[in-house]
Amino acid sequence: MRKYLLSDVDLGEEEAHAVAEVVRSKWLSLGPRTAEFEKQFANAMGAKYAVAVSSCTAAIHLALQAAGVGHGDEVIVPSYTFVASVNPILYLGAKPVFVELTGHHDLNLDPADVLRKITSKTKAIIAVHMAGFSADMDRIMTIAAEHGVTVIEDACHAIGASYTGAAGSRHRDAKAGTMGHAGCFSFFANKNLVTGEGGMLVTDDEEIANSVRLARSHGMTKSSWDKAAGRAFGYDVASLGYNYRGTELTAALGAIQLRKLPAANARRQELVVQYREHLVGVSGISMPFADRIEDSAHHIFPVLVDDPMLREPLRQELDARGVQTSVHYPPVHTFTHYQSSRKEPLELPVTEDVAAREVTLPLHPLLTDEDVVDICARTRDCLQALLPRSVANRG
Ligand SMILES: Cc1ncc(COP(=O)(O)O)c(C=O)c1O
């Protein structure tokens, strides 16, 4: 029986050769390849500045720090995201203010709830572009401008996605990650662009770019590469920094992966079209974002099971039939650490309901159309086997 992985990566001889070249160069940390990758990435996204960092978590941390977020400040963020969107808020002693999702059709943060929860203490909003579909950046940017807060895009799922927005949107055709004050990307091993670990921050704001460039390397005014290249002899520490540097190995991989990205994202889109064609009308599940296709990077393919009691049995059945699945995401506000550090109770009914019903099916550019047809057939078979049980249980 053919087995289907949830995600897979397109890495070949070109990447192997590029990494071998870095090894032979004997310069592995931040250096000229990183500078070149930053330039290429900024161009591809249409951003003025790109700063390579060690992860998206690091990028979010440094973006929040550049926005002046500190002790006692509030940062608005969806709970329906990976915990790494939220942890950096705590690193800075600030408070995450969790907002609801727009709905079961749109798993992005709800601008109406952002408006309800924004206060004089709000310093920033983190907009996560779920599954590859941009959040409503027109409304989020308007709300942010009216309240003078910084918008940080967590574009980990949406690398290469173009925004459509409302008619006449000033962000139309902008790349995800370039509409807010700073955009953060991950190149983690399962992303649309992979370097193993690694990330990038993009911005059009020179002050943010300078702040992040300093802070990624201990706040030092000169890099080790500057010294090795004979361009500097000493350094100052101008601000508090971290070791969040990118490496030459990840930059070499990233440059090749960046070239492959448009075709890889286009392939993901074709596979999502296949999925929709073969799952539409299937009893027991629905597909979020069903009215959008071209404005996504299609990082993952989420479906919602009508009956939350069926979610785990469905995953087990699929696993037994060779289809690996996942859950995106357990809501952050329900994790022990987040519950125990909160004083007041918090309910996010849409988030909690979506999170109880979500199943992620395999999606990566190495799948064939036939693979997707087969995964859909296996999903239908599993649901058919389970649904009478579900109806009986409820009856
Ligand atoms: C939505 C989201 N935010 C943040 C991250 C963190 O990225 P990294 O692992 O590069 O820190 C991820 C990675 O899985 C993610 O999916």
Q: If you classify domain 13-257 with CATH, what class do you get?
A: alpha beta
Query: Would you place residue 392 in the very low, low, confident or very high pLDDT band (cuts 50, 70, 90)?
Result: low
Residue 341's pLDDT is 83
Residue 201's pLDDT is 98
Residue 82's pLDDT is 98
Residue 231's pLDDT is 86
Query: Rounded to whole angstroms, what are the CA distances from 343 to 85, 224, 283?
Result: 21, 45, 41
**What average pLDDT does the chain have?**
96
- pLDDT tens digits, one per residue of 289-299: 999 999 999 99
Taking the C-alpha atoms of residue 285 and residue 187, their distance in angstroms, rounded to an integer, is 31
Which ligand 1 atom sits nearest the alpha carbon of residue 187?
10
Task: Note every long-range contact of 333-341, with CB atoms under 8 Å and residues 24 or more positions apart, other chains counting.
Answer: 333/79, 333/98, 334/79, 335/83, 338/86, 338/96, 341/90
Residue 394's pLDDT is 55
The residues annotated as belonging to the active site are: 191
Instruction: Determine the distance separating the centroid of ligand 1 and the alpha carbon of 156, expressed in angstroms.
Output: 6
Residue 166's pLDDT is 87
Q: Mean pLDDT, to the nearest integer, of 25-34?
A: 95
Which of the listed residues 184, 186, 244, 332 should we mutate to test ligand 1's pocket, taking the one with most ligand atoms within 8 A of CB? 186
Query: Would you place residue 10 in the very low, low, confident or very high pLDDT band (cuts 50, 70, 90)?
Result: very high
Q: Are 244 and 57 in contact (CB under 8 A)?
A: no
Name the nearest CA neighbour of 306 among 363, 354, 349, 273: 354
- pLDDT tens digits, one per residue of 198-252: 999 999 999 999 999 999 999 999 888 888 888 888 999 999 999 999 999 999 9
Structure tokens at 343: 């004083």
Residue 395's pLDDT is 47
Residue 208's pLDDT is 98
Which ligand 1 atom sits nearest the alpha carbon of residue 59?
11
Query: Would you place residue 390 in the very low, low, confident or very high pLDDT band (cuts 50, 70, 90)?
Result: low
- pLDDT tens digits, one per residue of 348-376: 999 999 999 999 999 999 999 999 999 99
- pLDDT tens digits, one per residue of 152-178: 999 999 999 999 988 899 999 999 999
Q: To 5 degrees, how large is the angle CA 99–CA 101–CA 107?
A: 140
Q: Is 322 helix (H, G, I), strand (E, B) or coil?
A: coil
Q: Are 331 and 351 in contact (CB under 8 A)?
A: yes
SS3 of the chain: helix, strand, coil, percent, to 5: 45, 15, 40
Which ligand 1 atom sits nearest the alpha carbon of residue 130?
1
Place of tokens 């999903």: 379
Instruction: Determine the distance separating the centroid of ligand 1 and the alpha carbon of 155, expressed in angstroms.
Output: 9
Taking the C-alpha atoms of residue 326 and residue 224, their distance in angstroms, rounded to an integer, is 41
Structure tokens at 234: 């000493």
Instruction: Determine the distance separating the centroid of ligand 1 and the alpha carbon of 57, expressed in angstroms.
Output: 6
Residue 256's pLDDT is 98
Instruction: Determine the distance separating the centroid of ligand 1 and the alpha carbon of 145, expressed in angstroms.
Output: 26
The answer to whether the CB of 154 is under 6 A from ligand 1 is yes
Q: Is 305 helix (H, G, I), strand (E, B) or coil?
A: strand
Residue nearest to atom 3 of ligand 1 (CA): 85
What are the helix (H) ranges across 105-191? 111-117, 137-147
- pLDDT tens digits, one per residue of 369-380: 999 999 999 999
The answer to whether the CB of 183 is under 6 A from ligand 1 is no
Q: Which residues pair with 95 in a beta bridge?
A: 74
The backbone region for 387, taken as left when phi is positive above 0, alpha when psi lies in -120 to 50, beta otherwise, is: alpha
Structure tokens at 24: 């032979």
Place of tokens 């007041």: 344
Q: Are 158 and 132 in contact (CB under 8 A)?
A: yes
Query: Rounded to whole angstroms, what are the CA distances from 163 to 125, 266, 292?
Result: 18, 15, 11
For 341, list phi and psi in degrees, rounded to 5: -95, 5
Instruction: Determine the distance separating the centroid of ligand 1 and the alpha carbon of 196, expressed in angstroms.
Output: 12
Q: Are 333 and 339 in contact (CB under 8 A)?
A: yes
Residue nearest to atom 5 of ligand 1 (CA): 84
Provide the strand spans (E) within 223-365: 285-286, 301-305, 358-361
Q: Is 218 helix (H, G, I), strand (E, B) or coil?
A: coil
Task: Examine the pLDDT at 78 and tell me if it is beyond 90.
Answer: yes
Query: Would you place residue 12 in the very low, low, confident or very high pLDDT band (cuts 50, 70, 90)?
Result: very high
Q: Mean pLDDT, to the nearest integer, of 105-126?
A: 98
**Per-domain residue ranges of the chain:** 13-257, 261-394
Task: Examine the pLDDT at 344 and tell me if it is beyond 80.
Answer: yes
The two beta strands, 301-305 and 95-99, are unpaired
Starting at the earlier edge strand, list the strands of the sheet with 301-305: 285-286, 301-305, 358-361
Q: If you classify domain 261-394 with CATH, what class do you get?
A: alpha beta
Residue 224's pLDDT is 86
Taking the C-alpha atoms of residue 287 and residue 279, their distance in angstroms, rounded to an integer, is 8
Q: Are 79 and 332 in contact (CB under 8 A)?
A: yes
Q: Are 378 and 3 in contact (CB under 8 A)?
A: no
The two beta strands, 95-99 and 122-128, are unpaired
